[in-house]
Amino acid sequence: MLDIKYKTLENLIIKGLYLYCGKGWIISVHSSEVDLLTPIRILFNQKNKTITASNIDALYYSVITEIIHKHELLLTSIELTITDFEQELIYAKSSKKKLNSLDLATRQLIIIRGYLWYTRDEVNFLLHMEKDSEDIKYLQIAYDDINQLIELIESYRDTINSA
């Protein structure tokens, strides 16, 4: 998986995040810049205390879901860029700088969309391979979240094209 966030509105920071799961264990390999412990602590302490009573697959699937949730923030930033541009069009204040900013947002959407499609395929594969697992509901949540993010990107693309 990838941890994607903005350094500035013009620069995406993309870091690899590898998760390995076995019988009773999970290992993550990632940069020290990727904060994976905070979402896991929140998972244990606030969101879903039943995970501690479940097997390791529930944690694995929940971590995948938390990583996908982080991408919603990324898409919100892009949405704000598009909304700002639309407002400037209404007031006829568009400039070359703003057009370049919109073009950059379009290219970033293409990168993120490709990644999300790939991730959706991976999660779909896991759904089919683990269909007998009792903790599959956590993975289904991740799959549904990815689909919603892809739909958001399609909506943003339509908004950019109409602008």
Over residues 24-43, the pLDDT tens digits come to 888 889 888 888 888 778 77
Q: Report d(CA 88, CA 107) in Å as an integer.
A: 20
Average pLDDT, the chain: 81
Q: Return the pLDDT at 53.
A: 65
H-helix or E-strand spanning residue 2: strand 2-8
Which domain covers residue 28, as residue numbers?
2-162
Q: Return the pLDDT at 49.
A: 62
What residue spans of the chain are helical by DSSP H? 37-42, 56-90, 96-129, 136-162
pTM for the whole thing? Answer: 0.76
Domain count, the chain: 1
H-helix or E-strand spanning residue 86: helix 56-90
Q: Report d(CA 118, CA 133) in Å as an integer.
A: 23
H-helix or E-strand spanning residue 64: helix 56-90
Whether the per-residue pLDDT at 47 is higher than 70: the answer is: no
Percent of the chain with pLDDT over 70: 89
Q: Report d(CA 120, CA 146) in Å as an integer.
A: 6
**The pair of three-digit structure tokens given for residue 152, joined into one six-digit string:** 């958001």
Where is average pLDDT lowest: 5-9, 81-85, 104-108, 140-144?
A: 5-9
> CATH number for the domain including 97?
1.20.58
